[in-house]
Amino acid sequence: MIQFEHVTKRYGERLALDDVSWRMNEGERVCLLGHSAAGKTTLLRLITHETQPTSGTVAIGTLRGGRLSRAHRALLRRTIGVIYEDFRLLGDRSVFENVALAVRISGHFADSDVIPRTLRALEEVGLHGKQAALPGELSFGERQRCAIARAIVNRPAILLADEPTGALEPRSAAEVLALLGRIQQEGAAVLLGTTRPEVDDAFGGRRIVLEDGRLREGGAPEHAFMPLPAAQASQAPHAAPPAPPAPHTGGA
């Protein structure tokens, strides 16, 4: 269904993905674990064809490689649901309209279906009480729920979730992960990108690990993903010397 073959992606000097090859089957559940700036979002953007690989091929279903036409890209995106890390909600439309717009754009459903579908999706993420609010009137977590509702409302064949629980407290996060799991069991392929090993653990599924743009399938969580250090005594001076933190960003 999704197949990367020796995909390399450069942004100018910066090597974001380095010779990545992997595949994902229909209806599979995959968790993409990687530290910040590892290249997770870049990988997802290659799937939606928001960006082109510098070399290698990306094949999605029957659409394979090369530059797709604008119409084909639009078609592809209508079969994919994406939860963006920065949500990308329309600030001038209510929560309901944001979700309903995705239903309308998909074109799969009759006009009379739009309202019930939208309401069901909002209910699934627990936002039905907020349907009239504008995104700017939501808490950050509520905005994320709205983004999730928009991604799942069409029950896409592929669901890409980029840190979908980043703004949620543990309990809500667990609920969202359960929802995504349910959608996968209904037949969708779900690819979840996250920096947090505990999300990976809770979500389950096959794990692939990105590290500085290189892929390590099924790898054990590395040192970078150790849990946070234990609670420090309140107001106590820090044990660690105030050395600047090691950057995670450079290194092409």
Partner 1 sequence: MHLFFWREAWRSFQAHRGLALTTVFSLAAALALAGVFLLVSWNAGQALHWIGDRREMIVYLNDDAGEAQVQALQAKIGELYGTSTFVSRAQAWEEFTTQVGDPEILKAVGTNPLPASLRVRLRPALQNFPAMSECAKQLEQFPEVEAVRFGGEWVQRLDALNAGARRAAVAVGLIVALAMVFVLHNTLRLAVLARRQQVEIMIKLGASDGFVATPFVFEALLETLAAAAVALLLVFGLQQALAQRLDGVTFLPLEWIAAFVGGALVLAWIASAAALGRILRTVGA
Ligand X SMILES: Nc1ncnc2c1ncn2[C@@H]1O[C@H](COP(=O)(O)OP(=O)(O)OP(=O)(O)O)[C@@H](O)[C@H]1O
For ligand X, the closer of residues 127 and 152 by Cβ is 127
Tell me how far, at minimum, the Cβ of 213 lies from ligand X, in Å: 7
Tell me how far, at minimum, the Cβ of 181 lies from Mg ion, in Å: 22
> Which window, 21-29, 64-72, 77-85, 228-236, contacts Mg ion (CB under 5 A)?
77-85
Give one DSSP letter per residue of the chain, joined into a string.
-EEEEEEEEEETTEEEEEEEEEEE-TT-EEEEEE-TTSSHHHHHHHHTTSS--SEEEEEETTEESSPPPHHHHHHHHHTEEEE-TT----TTS-HHHHHHHHHHHH--S-HHHHHHHHHHHHHHTT-GGGTTS-GGGS-HHHHHHHHHHHHHTT--SEEEEESTTTTS-HHHHHHHHHHHHHHHHTT-EEEEEES-HHHHHHH-SEEEEEETTEEEETPPP-GGGPPPPPPPPTTPPPSS--PPPPPSS---
Tell me how far, at minimum, the Cβ of 64 lies from a second copy, in Å: 27
Point out which residues bind partner 1 (CB under 8 A): 48, 50-51, 70-71, 73-80, 82, 84, 88-93, 101-102, 104-106, 111, 150
Give which of Mg ion, a second copy, partner 1, none residue 126 binds (C-beta under 5 to 8 Å, depending on kind): a second copy
Tell me how far, at minimum, the Cβ of 57 lies from partner 1, in Å: 18
For partner 1, the closer of residues 105 and 178 by Cβ is 105
For ligand X, the closer of residues 18 and 85 by Cβ is 85
Tell me how far, at minimum, the Cβ of 196 lies from a second copy, in Å: 7
Give which of Mg ion, a second copy, ligand X, none residue 235 binds (C-beta under 5 to 8 Å, depending on kind): a second copy
Residues near Mg ion, by CB under 5 A: 41, 85, 139-140
